[in-house]
Structure 1
Amino acid sequence: MTGADRPRRGGGAGAEPLLLGVRHHGPGSARAVRAALDAARPRVVLIEGPPEADALVPLAAAEGMRPPVALLAHAVDEPGRSAFWPLAGFSPEWVALRWALDHGVPARFIDLPAAHTLAWDTAEADTAEGDTAKGDAPEEDGTEGLPADPHGPGTDAGGGQVPDARIDPLAVLAETAGYDDPERWWEDAVEHRGAGAGDALAPFTALEDAMGALRETYGDGGHGRDPVREAYMRIQVRAARREFAGGVAVVCGAWHVPALRRAATVAADRALLKGLPRIKVDLTWVPWTHRRLSRASGYGAGIDAPGWYGHLFSAPDRPVERWLTKVAGLLREEGRAVSSAHVIEAVRLARTLAALRGRPLPGLCETTDAVRAVMCEGSEVPLALVRDRLVVGDVLGEVPPEAPAVPLQRDLHRLQRRLRLKPEAGERELALDLRKETDAGRSRLLHRLRLLGAPWGEPAASPGSTGTFRETWRLRWEPELSVRVAEAGVWGTTVLTAATAKAEADAVAAHGLAEVTALAERCLLAGLPKALPTVMRILAERAALDADVGRLAQALPALVRALRYGDVRGTHTGALAEVAAGLAARIFVGLLPACTALDADAAEEMRRHVDAVHGAVGLLGDDPAPGHGDLRGRWRAVLRALSARDTVHGVVRGRALRLLLDDGALAPEEAERSMGLALSPATPPADAAAWIEGFVGGGSGTGMLLVHDERLLRLVDDWLTGVPAEAFTDVLPLLRRTFSAYEPGVRRTLGELARRGPERWGSAASTGPGLPGFAAELDSERADAVLPVVRLLLGPGGADGRGGAEDGERRYSGGGDLVGADG
């Protein structure tokens, strides 16, 4: 039966259904569907999608529903096993759904039930699930709770790897028409041509004939599940024809239309469906984003330019002019000088390019070339911004509150409203002041979600502040977080109870001591006081049994950082202080034996442990828990023993001496004497180089010690110039690693000093540090000019010059405001 004599519209019981084959997320298909439904006025609209979602159809017309959205199906007993059916405002299925609701016509989904789809064997789903990438209806994005794998082009609509025989219908049609780009062919064949004069069904007739020819040649095209899905759809179409006396319209992927048109017996279709696995599923609407509709996200049925397609669908006229005006507005917001003349010239260029390329209208390729040449002056940097913000876009849909959701999701929505923390598709930074109640609540919510495995944001460095009262987050709401929240619902019905239960379970399952201490830190950050007793009990048990100094040293910093949070978060940390002090005491006892007879790699790792413990002890204070004595004094004794023990590797000895010097526990003269001994001719060059790396390595002082202390610099210079030629090549890599870690300004200054030579440095007693700009004596007038700024920084109490520093130090260190968690 050809397109000319095929029945197109039925009013009687025997009339053929109106089959509208579409491209998923195709604005041209969406316009054609609307025109065809207006012309045919069917009594029921059948749409490719999971039939369990029929009860959710009325929500599509709710006031709070804003596409893009997606139908989410997940297994009741295993929420992580889930699938999505995304719909944008320009998706033909969404247009059909809204047409039915606006005209009071029933709308039903007729694809294979999600209960079967999610129960299908995971391995089979990875290779046989879904429709073609471009000519098909919405598809589930995977069975493990995440959208498709973004790696590689050989993915199906569900994200699984496809066999080589699996074809892309639009790619085949584009190649047949002489196009090397299926997207450009689709624009020319559909988007730029409209529905045709007086015949709303002409696009569907042409596309059905093309797909029919393809299916005669390729069969199911490598889509192994299609025969089963199409059998189920035929059964549903037959039932609708009987119920509605033939007034049936079907909106489905164009690839399926020939199979739905083909005559098949009911018995044959039911035989294909016999024995399919089945599980219990729940469905709901969830917000989606344009970015997740793009093919670059890994969504197999995705498109290259969701933002561009949305514009084509919504622009009433002059789409090129409106698009380029939108681009100009974006570039002006970013500070680029783009005028109306630029827009006019870009429009002219886009039209000229389209004419030269033989296209009916300028497409995305022509408008992008025009923007690059006219508005971006050939630069790809602003053009990348246009692609990200407009061509793809960060539009985030909305779902009404009455949509079904697990209790945990409802509690999350309540917290989002109370804390005024709205999900957004674009990435943004959020700075929090933990002294404010609302910001503290936001911080706890974000930390709890991370603990639950649904990270709404990631912590970032706070610009201009190292205080523990401030946090900075990078937030971006991804649609799959809805799956993660549903999956986390097994831990509790509220975010607080679920995070508490998850933390307790993680503590029991933790393998190492560092995992438990990190978990204790996260519990304090998330405000989970009921989880702390379990975590602290397991922490104390693990600490008592663990004898490895390295693991103890790894665990201590996180524990000490957690102690700091009590200052601004109001959490009780007494139990933490007791465990931390005990952990530090065990490290003091075992560190010296653990640093003996180490090779270079083990010594470097131990140096990092020493740095971490030193910072932790500094934050702990003298006696954080009664009965543990002066921790700082005991730690300095350990450092002295490390710096003087010949059996300890040079990098550890040098670092221990440097830490003592920085703490003021070692006189400069004593440090100079120790350095002279370490760099004496009797010391092997490799050992001396290791000692230098530990003492002036970039990690603990950035070389400023050598810049400002001529005596130490002279010792290094004397040692280096005295290294025998045969040993110099052995120590050079270590020295290069040491000095390469310095900041550029420090390296430049040291290089200038080396160029001038020691004889021109002068002496510290007569010329200060021997650097240009430093006088022998203090310039009192220049120093006095700084005092007003110092008083301003110290605040009230420091304005009269008396007690300001003391008051400021007490206020800052006591509240933790200006003292970072890492010291």
Structure 2
Amino acid sequence: MSVHILGIRHHGPGSARNVKAFLEELQPDIVLVEGPPEADAILQWAGHEGLQPPVAILVYQPDNPQHSCFYPFADYSPEWQAISYARKHNIHVRFMDLPLTHVFGIEQEQQAGVAAAEPEIITETFNPHTREAAKDSTTTIPGASLPAMEEGPVYSDPIAHLAAAAGYDDGERWWEHMFEYRRQPEQVFEAVSDAMQALREELPVKDNRMEQLREAWMRKLIRQAEKEMFQRIAVICGAWHAPALQQMPKQKEDNDLLKGLPKVKTDCTWIPWTYSRLSYASGYGAGVPSPGWYDHIWHHPDDDGVRWMSLVAKLFREQQQDTSAAHVMEAVRLANALASLRQFSRPGLEELNEATLSILCNGEPMLMQLIKEQLIISNRIGSVPADIPRPPLQADIEKLQKKLRMPQTADFKDYMLDLRKDTDLERSIFLHRLDLLGIHWGVRYDVSGKGTFKEHWRVQWNPSFSVDVIEKGTWGNTVVTAVTQYITDSAQQTGTLTEVCNMLESAIPAELPDVVDILIQRINNLAAASGDVLQLLEVIPSLVNITRYGNVRKTDAALVMGIVESMISRVCISLPAACTSVAEDAALELLDKFMAMNDAISLLQDEALTGDWQHTLGQIAANPQTAAVIAGYATRLLLDFKVMEHDKPANAFSVAMSTANPPGRSAAWLEGFLKGSGSLLLLDESLWSMVQNWVSQLENDIFIQVLPLLRRTFSNFTAPERKKLGEKVKSGGGSQPAVTGTVSSDIDENRAEKGIPVVMNILGFFDTSSHQKMK
């Protein structure tokens, strides 16, 4: 009976090749692989022709799908090669990592205790050095990075010690040249085990309870295999764990460590994976820097650079870059020369990249980004058989994707949908429904031009969508059922009118009439109970936009119009009071909603609603307590509607810009009045003169105070308007005094003269007794 521990680097092509060669020579009768024991039941699919890497095992909690784990595999992953060997030779294969039923249970206990614990005593979570960038509770495993040190020199992982001793400044690069590019596998696993043993003994690594549990469970399954009388046991695990599995402690110690672990219910399945998610850039802790390159050297281990450079040349030619065979030959020659100077047996990716930059890119680094995306990382996506057990909602989504000819792709793909065509309309409906479910497979972009019959979508499949699909599967087995139940419940749970209106705006293009009816009823109830006029202002424009779907979407816009009319009536009643005693920041925020409201009413083309809105504007503009910027904008709108008498705009402007008003208020009123366009100042000479005279009479310190407001006002004008206004100032246009004849006056000058002595006396200038003498 013999146990063979093979320490490997996860997703390493050299390690995979060495594992495959070792197993073929050893011919074990059982293979133990680092991985989740819950997935033993689905290992039967590993030999299926439809299961093509990159793929991943997804383990999740059925009652909390966002609490999940991914175990990715590429074709060149050592674990995948070990599983494939066992399936091909019909021998036993088992996963031996700590079951996630315990891992999730431990994490739940820790999360429950976080509220009462101080930050410095919160315990670690499962395999923290491999946890993916935080997205809910999703984890990607297995890990390649080794535990970080607490003392001594700072390295990203202990392997960096060995790299530094060999003269490398990068542990990954040292590992690649020592193991991934090595062609002689003799005693490689013994060397790895000895190196890890030395590192574990010498480096001050902090005790990690989760790692101790994992290694104890691995030893438990090795002992179990021995008890079952397997004679040749092959164990494939991360290199860091190899020494812990070779030096077995007493069984009682491991049993005591594993006693009483909490448990939760879990489920698992196979899902497609992508090379981009296998890279470091995705945040995957056990990722590799160049999954596409690793795939190349796995399938073409004898390539001296010719085949790789040919792929680079092909890529450049597809991008209309001039690349000849001579370029390829010279680049290969340079790469091999660099490898020879560095005492490497053959060029690696670094040498090939340097040669590519010098010869094929002419020193232009921008083109290297294209090589990185298309070749070094690659956009490959795996596949899983259609008959693999999966949640019903996921099966329905895949069925619709196949029917609409919209396959899952690792790279993005653009769809310009013409909603007048049946297939494009169905695609649009499908994407809108997924979006409502929170599965954002497609991102919608604006389409230039008029009309609502075109939509631009960019779709790109992310493996993490599988978790979202499982989570939303609790609402229904089909897309229609799930989105109906999910939105109905969400609408009942939220009390925010804005959120429900956003749901309605998305539900109409998704063609969900039952959902639309429910949302309209919910909006009606919330609007009737809402006394917040600002909230009504915010949702009216979106509801008005919804009516525009009537032509293309075959939706009855009258369902929405009743609610819109009722909301506008309530806004017209409550808005004047809401515009008084408003701080400057709040007034500017209200002004944006004001503009959107006015655009919405103009879009409706309803005479009665327009009349009510104009009456409301008149009340707002005439109220001296109204915020200045809003009063100015209301006056401007009344002028645009042409409902003000010929002398009213000049009167309102004269009063607002009077020296009796604080300069800041006058500047704010002017900002509102000129909001959106400077054409008024160009076309109306009387207004131009009043503005110019008001500015010219400001004292220096007051002018400095109002200058930011004036600058903000004029910065909102278009560049041609600002240019013409500048030319008008330069030429002295409008410098004459304002025409006073346009302003009517009913003042009795004789009566006014009698009050002058009293006013002057109050101001302390002279006595009333001397008035006649001075006169």
Cα distance, 1:62 vs structure 2: 2.3
Question: Equivalent of 2:7, from 9, 15, 21?
Answer: 21
Q: Secondary structure at the match of 2:384?
A: coil
Cα distance, 1:587 vs structure 2: 0.4
Letter in 2 for 1:406: P
Deviation larger for 467-476 or 207-216: 467-476
Question: Equivalent of 1:66, from 34, 43, 52?
Answer: 52
2:759 corresponds to: none
Alignment of 1:696-711 (within 5 A): 696-697=674-675, 700-701=676-677, 703=678, 706=681
Cα distance, 1:482 vs structure 2: 0.5
Q: Is the CA contact 1:328–1:338 (under 8 Å) kept in the aligned structure 2?
A: yes
CA deviations over 1:644-689 (Å, ceiling 9, x no partner): 4433223212322333455565689865665455445555432332
2:631 corresponds to: 653
**Cα distance change of structure 1 residues 144 and 635 upon mapping to structure 2, 3 Å threshold:** closer
2:715 corresponds to: 740
Q: Is the CA contact 1:324–1:343 (under 8 Å) kept in the aligned structure 2?
A: yes
Alignment of 1:37-436 (within 5 A): 37-122=23-108, 127-130=124-127, 144-147=136-139, 157=143, 164=150, 168-194=157-183, 196=184, 200-218=185-203, 222-241=207-226, 243=228, 245-436=230-421
Q: Distance in 2 between matches of 1:666 and 1:348?
A: 82
Q: Distance in 1 between matches of 2:689 and 2:386?
A: 72
Cα distance, 1:128 vs structure 2: 4.1
Cα distance, 1:332 vs structure 2: 3.2
Q: Is the CA contact 1:408–1:494 (under 8 Å) kept in the aligned structure 2?
A: yes
CA deviations over 1:566-585 (Å, ceiling 9, x no partner): 32212334332211110111
Q: Secondary structure at the match of 1:527?
A: coil
Question: Equivalent of 2:568, from 564, 567, 584?
Answer: 584
Query: Is 2:470 aligned against 1:486?
Result: yes
Letter in 1 for 2:397: L
1:438 corresponds to: 423
Cα distance, 1:752 vs structure 2: 4.1
**Cα distance change of structure 1 residues 143 and 557 upon mapping to structure 2, 3 Å threshold:** closer
Letter in 1 for 2:50: G
CA deviations over 1:337-387 (Å, ceiling 9, x no partner): 333333333333333333444444333333333333333333333222322
Deviation larger for 292-301 or 243-252: 243-252
Q: Secondary structure at the match of 1:525?
A: coil
1:626 corresponds to: none
Q: Is the CA contact 1:407–1:493 (under 8 Å) kept in the aligned structure 2?
A: yes
**Cα distance change of structure 1 residues 480 and 164 upon mapping to structure 2, 3 Å threshold:** farther
Alignment of 1:597-636 (within 5 A): 597-622=581-606, 630-636=608-614
Letter in 1 for 2:311: K
CA RMSD after TM alignment: 3.2
Q: TM-score, normalised by structure 1?
A: 0.81
Query: Is 2:434 aligned against 1:449?
Result: yes
Q: Is the CA contact 1:69–1:287 (under 8 Å) kept in the aligned structure 2?
A: yes
Letter in 1 for 2:383: E
Q: Is the CA contact 1:430–1:473 (under 8 Å) kept in the aligned structure 2?
A: yes
Q: Distance in 2 between matches of 1:596 and 1:160?
A: 63
Question: Equivalent of 2:733, from 758, 765, 774?
Answer: 758
Q: Secondary structure at the match of 2:407?
A: coil
2:554 corresponds to: 570
Q: Is the CA contact 2:132–2:284 (under 8 Å) kept in the aligned structure 1?
A: no
Letter in 2 for 1:190: F
1:768 corresponds to: none
Letter in 1 for 2:496: G
Instruction: Show structure 1 runs of 5+ residues with no match.
Output: 1-13, 134-138, 149-154, 624-629, 762-823
Q: Secondary structure at the match of 2:268?
A: strand
Cα distance, 1:589 vs structure 2: 0.9
Q: TM-score, normalised by structure 2?
A: 0.85
CA deviations over 1:507-561 (Å, ceiling 9, x no partner): 1221322222222222223332222343233322221121121111012122222
CA deviations over 1:381-420 (Å, ceiling 9, x no partner): 3222322333223222222211221111111111211222
Q: Secondary structure at the match of 2:606?
A: coil
**Cα distance change of structure 1 residues 183 and 590 upon mapping to structure 2, 3 Å threshold:** same
1:800 corresponds to: none
CA deviations over 1:32-56 (Å, ceiling 9, x no partner): 1122222222233221111221222
Q: Distance in 1 between matches of 2:350 and 2:57?
A: 32
How many residue pairs were aligned? 722
Q: Distance in 1 between matches of 2:227 and 2:187?
A: 27
Deviation larger for 258-267 or 26-35: 258-267
1:548 corresponds to: 532
Q: Is the CA contact 1:131–1:157 (under 8 Å) kept in the aligned structure 2?
A: no
Cα distance, 1:29 vs structure 2: 0.6
Q: Is the CA contact 1:169–1:214 (under 8 Å) kept in the aligned structure 2?
A: yes
Q: Secondary structure at the match of 1:80?
A: strand
Q: Is the CA contact 2:688–2:734 (under 8 Å) kept in the aligned structure 1?
A: no
Q: Distance in 2 between matches of 1:358 and 1:749?
A: 70
Q: Distance in 1 between matches of 2:362 and 2:666?
A: 56
Q: Is the CA contact 1:84–1:141 (under 8 Å) kept in the aligned structure 2?
A: no
Deviation larger for 91-100 or 576-585: 91-100
Letter in 2 for 1:511: G
Q: Distance in 2 between matches of 1:290 and 1:759?
A: 67
Letter in 1 for 2:713: T
Deviation larger for 478-487 or 273-282: 273-282
Letter in 2 for 1:109: F
CA deviations over 1:75-104 (Å, ceiling 9, x no partner): 122222111101112211112222223333
Q: Distance in 2 between matches of 1:661 and 1:60?
A: 74
CA deviations over 1:396-450 (Å, ceiling 9, x no partner): 2222211221111111111211222222222343322233332232223222223
Cα distance, 1:265 vs structure 2: 4.0
Q: Distance in 2 between matches of 1:345 and 1:722?
A: 76
**Cα distance change of structure 1 residues 271 and 522 upon mapping to structure 2, 3 Å threshold:** same
**Cα distance change of structure 1 residues 256 and 607 upon mapping to structure 2, 3 Å threshold:** same
Q: Distance in 1 between matches of 2:326 and 2:730?
A: 57
Task: Report % sequence identity.
Answer: 41
Q: Secondary structure at the match of 2:382?
A: coil
Alignment of 1:759-774 (within 5 A): none
Q: Secondary structure at the match of 2:462?
A: coil
Q: Distance in 2 between matches of 1:689 and 1:27?
A: 70
Cα distance, 1:183 vs structure 2: 1.5
